[in-house]
Amino acid sequence: MADRLYYGTRDMVFAPYGERWRQLRRVCVSHLRTQRRVLRFGAVREQEAAALLGRVRGTAGAVVNLSDLLVAFSSAVISRATFGDAGYGLDGGANGGWAKLRKVFGEFEELLGTVPMAEMVPWLWLVDVVTGLERKARRTSEEIDRLLERVIADHRRRRRGGARRVGDGEEDCRDFVDVLQDLSEAEEEVGGVQLDTVAIKATILDMLVAGTDTTYTLLEWVIAELINYPARMRKLQDEIRAAVVGDHVTEDDLPKLPYLKAVIKETLRLHPPGPLLLPRETLEDTELQGYHVPARTRVVINTWAIGRDAATWGEHAEEFMQERFAADGEAEYHRMGADFRFLPFGGGRRGCPGVEFAVPANELALASLLYHFDWEVPVPVAGGGRPWTTAGSLVDMSEVNGLSVRLKRPLLLVAQPWPA
């Protein structure tokens, strides 16, 4: 299915190990995820965080579907970094275009986690046709391909019209598509690997699917866990409200929030965005704890189980206890992947290269939501003036399984402005 949806695995995530994969990863790390480029999109993150707060304020005192707003925020940040300010329907605009595309990407992820019958028993390929899997895969890939074609065509048209963006300096205003097209025209910069249109589309798809889903899923789980532990939420709010000098949270405030970082890391331990990571493949015959593992064996790593292993995390491994990260003072995210007890974004050569890009957006959104609002869960009541109450309510933590593990039900909350 990955071969089908990712243009024959022309992307970086599913490409087989080799020279091409090494060069694609180098492009991503050296040109798209550099510290300078992360800082370059700081204004985008702050603008979208402000837009998120505006949407919440519009529903203050009433029940708000925070899950939908978090999807809009993460979609807008990723799409603006990837496509530019045009957004191409992935922004959180009033036309609701992001909702339709979110549905398409949801189907995309569902398909990625599906094993076609034709892969297991090739002569039963007709089963995929009868069940509709073949039709769904074709429709989803075509819809996403149309979006990517439109994005690339628009960027090329702008460049031909003399509006080509230049960069690599202090005023670098290129989005990711601009950077990829610049590299496509300078083959020597990517080690002789040609970044053609298909490779560009596959690389963009990696960013959209991985960046959007992991961001909103993490934000959702953090809020849910904090509401179920109100004392810890108040402690975090006190930290944020004491650290922020102005009337809103900025990225300059984030280094002063160690408790926030500990909360995020503990949430990643219990609810990793990709519970089974991406499949690996052994390069050679291997002996592992008395088992013979042949070369080219597909290996699935259960990071969800690793993060809840009582032998590593103690008898309270299933409980939300962010103090386990705050106590040792380790607040930096770049160490994730180096410690094999804690692998929310994988590790080694196949570890996620976009962690440093995602972290500021996650921290800024969470700090802003917790700084400006107090959050409660509404519970319906019969009769009376107001149809719900918020006294002592908890979030239902039931999960829906898939390529990523999310809350089964939307996060329906009441936001009370602070100060009142």
Q: pLDDT of 20-37, one tens digit each?
A: 888 888 777 776 667 777
pLDDT of residue 39: 81
- Each as own residue / partner, the long-range contacts of residues 48-53 (CB below 8 Å, 24 or more positions apart, any chain) are 48/73, 48/76, 48/77, 48/80, 48/92, 48/361, 49/73, 49/249, 49/364, 49/365, 49/368, 50/248, 50/368, 51/76, 51/92, 52/92, 52/365, 52/368, 52/369, 53/248, 53/368, 53/369, 53/372
pLDDT tens sequence across 148-162 = 888 888 888 887 776
Instruction: Calculate the average pLDDT of the chain.
Output: 82
Residue 253 CA to its chain's centroid (Å): 22
Give the mean model confidence (pLDDT) for residues 93-102. 54
Over its C-alpha atoms, the chain yields an Rg (Å, rounded) of: 22
When pLDDT is cut at 50, 70 and 90, the band that residue 93 belongs to is very low
For residues 35-62, b (16+ Cβ closer than 10 Å) or e, as one string? eebbebbeebbbebbebbbeebeeeeee
pLDDT tens sequence across 144-202 = 898 888 888 888 888 777 655 555 555 566 788 888 888 877 655 555 567 788 888 88
Measured between alpha carbons, how far is 212 from 106 in angstroms, rounded to an integer?
Answer: 11
Give the mean model confidence (pLDDT) for residues 265-269. 92
Strands (E), 73-206: none
Q: Which of 103-117, 177-191, 275-289 has the lowest mean pLDDT?
A: 177-191
pTM exceeds cut of 0.75: yes
Nearest to 113 by CA among 406, 408, 403: 403
Burial of 246 (0-12, 13-18, 19+ CB in 10 A): exposed
Measured between alpha carbons, how far is 401 from 408 in angstroms, rounded to an integer?
Answer: 8
pLDDT of residue 160: 76
> Number of C-alpha atoms within 13 angstroms, CB side, residue 69?
24
Q: Which residue has the higher pLDDT, 28 or 116?
A: 116
Walk me through the domains of the chain, giving residue ranges and CATH numbers: 2-417 (1.10.630.10)
Contacts of 133 by beta carbon, 8 Å cutoff, 6+ apart: 111, 114, 116, 117
When pLDDT is cut at 50, 70 and 90, the band that residue 392 belongs to is low
